Amino acid sequence: MLTGFGDFRYNAIDVRENFMSPIETTLQFMDRINRHDADKLAELMTDDHIFVDSLGQTVRGREQMKKGWRGYFAFCPDYWISHETIFENGNDVAVFGSAGGTIAAAGTLPPENKWRTPAAWLSRVENGQVKEWRVYADNKPVYDIMAKSSRQ
């Protein structure tokens, strides 16, 4: 569809095509997670962003999730995620890989608090932003560290 205003003409479809692809958006989102930059990460979230953790707990809204990421980065300052396989189905991107980090204790990162687990994520992309981010991972390694730390 062409729309004209005087000598200025643009193709409305081209505007949509300037967005990153769903896979590119998802990889950029993962990169920002790995950079621990909640503000830049939030730029890739829709206003009505939905985060669902591996226990099914949901956080709604960009600002709420920005706070959530800041808290998680303080809890696990070297948190990282990686991908091995990615599948795309329209605006849905399934990512399979690993996650890990070290649970902070009294401002330090004790080696015994390091964890790593296989993980998967579902990213629902809308207009170049992540509308929904679902985490599928085994939380047992983190829970084991937390339980051990609480006994000390």
CB 73 within 8 A of CB 101: no
Sketch out the chain's domains with CATH numbers: 11-151 (3.10.450.50)
Query: Helix/strand/coil (H, E, C) string of the chain?
Result: CEEEECCEEEEHHHHHHCCCCHHHHHHHHHHHHHCCCHHHHHHCEEEEEEEECCCCCEEECHHHHHHHHHHHHHHCCCCEEEEEEEEEECCEEEEEEEEEEECCECCECCHHHEEEEEEEEEEEEECCEEEEEEEEECCHHHHHHHHHHHHC
pLDDT top residue among 17 and 127: 127
Predicted local distance difference test score (pLDDT) of residue 44 = 97
- Percent of the chain whose pLDDT exceeds 70: 86
Predicted local distance difference test score (pLDDT) of residue 66 = 97
User: What is the distance between the alpha carbons of residues 142 and 65, in angstroms, rounded to a whole number?
Assistant: 20
Single-letter amino acid code for the residue at 103: I
CB 24 within 8 A of CB 95: no
Q: What is the pTM of this model?
A: 0.84
Chain segment 32-66, per-residue pLDDT in tens: 999 999 999 999 999 999 999 999 999 999 999 99
Predicted local distance difference test score (pLDDT) of residue 18 = 62
What would the mean pLDDT of 108-133 be, rounded to a whole number?
Answer: 96
CB 36 within 8 A of CB 77: yes
Residue 9, pLDDT > 80, answer no
**What confidence tier does 148 reach under pLDDT thresholds 50, 70, 90?**
confident
User: What is the distance between the alpha carbons of residues 150 and 152, in angstroms, rounded to a whole number?
Assistant: 5
CB 116 within 8 A of CB 100: yes
Residue 106, pLDDT > 80, answer yes
Predicted local distance difference test score (pLDDT) of residue 139 = 86
Residue 8, pLDDT > 60, answer no
What would the mean pLDDT of 142-150 be, rounded to a whole number?
Answer: 82
User: What is the distance between the alpha carbons of residues 31 and 97, in angstroms, rounded to a whole number?
Assistant: 14
What would the mean pLDDT of 81-104 be, rounded to a whole number?
Answer: 97
